[in-house]
Amino acid sequence: MSPPPAHTSARELAAWVRAGGSAEQLIEQRYQAIRLRDPAINSVRQLLLSRALARARDIDGQVSRGIDPGPLAGVPFGAKELFDVRHLVTLAGSRVRATAPAAERDAAAIERLEAAGAILLATLNMDEFAYGFTCENAHYGATRNPHDLGRIAGGSSGGSAAVVAASLLPLSLGSDTNGSIRVPAALCGVFGLKPTYGRVSRRGSFPFVDSLDHVGPFARNARDLAVAFDALQGPDSEDPVCASRPADTTAFALEEPLGALRVAVLGGWFAQSAESGALQAVQRVAHALGATQTVQLDEAGAARAAAFCLSAAEGGALHLPALRRDAAVYDPATRDRLLAGALQPARIITQAQRMRRLFLRQALQQLQEFEVLLAPSTPFAATPVGEAHTILQGQRWLVRAGLGLYTQPLSFIGLPVLSVPVVMPGSLPLGVQLIAAPWQERRLLQLAAWLEDRGIIAAPQSAASNG
């Protein structure tokens, strides 16, 4: 019984393994596919074949003894290179940490996916220390977009998005501080969930901005994403930020009727500076939902500014000892921003935190009236690799900064946001953010499944996935 083909969903792969298909053969198949096709994409940093095969044999043994390995039985996945993997140095996309000690245990997110039966096969490329939106890494090269290899994958979790977009792996893990799950998910045409701040444990993930960091999954469809999220979520006493509230499982709810849903489109900040395709993608989703109202979050621009400054200042403070020692080893694009951040006054942090509370209050008021808000994930589609600027409505924008315009204000206040790929024939992939009140991930995933069942959203097959 040969393993199922590349585009098979994670749930179908798990069903195949649970029915007696060989997880070991599945891992071999995916390993060979990555070796053959990833050099053109550069999504993978390290393949963990021995570890994955040992785990696959264990899964196969469980099945043969009548034990259910879990809802992700035998499903291979990858993790952004900032998650601890036992016996490996957590490089976080940098050479600065090359001499750091190896991790003694896996990150919580890896442990949880593996507890559900999944198998870690690869670590994945990223912007250095997660400080970027393009995944152009000076040390390890750019990750290329599987839909157009001349273009960026987006970042910072670019490897996590590209490996799923190319159907090399059905699931991956990333992190999102200012948009690092949603931006690459949008540019690569896959689903990416940034859960509520505190919903998923960050234990064993290399930090960037402690007060903004989130961990979340990527997948090619809403139902796979829900199964992965269910495995990931829940309290963790080893992460002081992780909420004590019990897990709120979602996968079963995706088969239930959606029911009435109050949806509005975010205007103002979230409609300025976007190329027409990004706004059309939002309108396509809004039209399918009968959403006719537009609302504004008046402080979104100031919130984005505060998130930007907070990231530089907190990130700069985190890296201060390493910058004193090894500044010349950093990617110059990362180093100069961290140095500028390290020199900021403490007041920038305290005022940014107050700005966060103010903006959160405003957003929660809108979310009392509307259950879901819609906004573009990015103002524009993937740009060519190496292009520093882009022109939007006659204005010149830095690509690295501009990609986060619509994601930064939302991660700043910790709301759950799901970036979904909108079907736009003939165009590069574009994403729409589905935004809800804290802890309402289930509603977002339900909505995504509903839209997917009606052909409004879908992960397109990439040219790079045919092989």
Residue of 156, 205, 311, 465 marked active site: 156
The contact pattern for another protein, residues 411-440, with x = CB under 8 A and - = no contact, is ---x-----------------------xx-
22 is catalytic: no
Closest to another protein by CB, 80 vs 199, is: 199
SS3 category, 66: coil
121-180 binders of another protein (CB under 8 A): none
CB of 272 to another protein, least distance (A): 15
194 is catalytic: no
**Is residue 437 left, alpha or beta, with left meaning phi > 0 and alpha meaning psi from -120 to 50?**
beta
End-to-end Cα distance, the chain: 20
Instruction: Pick the binder of another protein from 336, 369, 387, 453 (CB under 8 A).
Output: 336
How many CA atoms does the CB half-sphere of 96 hold within 13 Å? Answer: 24
Instruction: Pick the binder of another protein from 160, 211, 378, 383 (CB under 8 A).
Output: 211
Instruction: Pick the binder of another protein from 308, 366, 424, 461 (CB under 8 A).
Output: 308
Residue of 9, 22, 43, 80 marked active site: 80
Contact 30, 76 (CB under 8 A): yes
- Rounded Cα distance between 243 and 31, Å, is 36
CB of 379 to another protein, least distance (A): 17
Instruction: Pick the binder of another protein from 10, 162, 352, 449 (CB under 8 A).
Output: 352
Cβ–Cβ contacts within 10 Å for residue 349, how many?
A: 17
Long-range contacts of 356-360, Cβ-Cβ distance < 8 Å, separation of 24 or more: 356/303, 356/306, 356/307, 356/310, 356/412, 356/413, 358/299, 359/297, 359/299, 359/300, 359/302, 359/303, 359/306, 359/409, 359/412, 359/413, 360/413, 360/414
**Interacting span for another protein (CB under 8 A) from 46-54, 262-270, 286-294, 340-348:** 340-348
50 is catalytic: no
CB of 170 to another protein, least distance (A): 30
355 near another protein, rule: CB under 8 A: yes
Torsion angles phi and psi, residue 367, rounded to 5: -80, -5
SS3 category, 371: coil
**Residues for the chain: how many in total?**
467
- Rounded Cα distance between 137 and 285, Å, is 34
Closest to another protein by CB, 87 vs 357, is: 357
**Interacting span for another protein (CB under 8 A) from 19-27, 101-109, 223-231, 346-354:** 346-354
**Is residue 268 left, alpha or beta, with left meaning phi > 0 and alpha meaning psi from -120 to 50?**
left
- Rounded Cα distance between 405 and 434, Å, is 16
305 near another protein, rule: CB under 8 A: yes
CB of 305 to another protein, least distance (A): 4
Closest to another protein by CB, 51 vs 356, is: 356
Instruction: Name the residues that contact another protein, by CB under 8 A.
Output: 196-198, 210-211, 240-241, 243, 301-302, 305-306, 308-309, 312-314, 320, 323-324, 327-328, 332, 335-337, 339-344, 347-358, 414, 438-439
- Residues marked as catalytic: 80, 156, 180
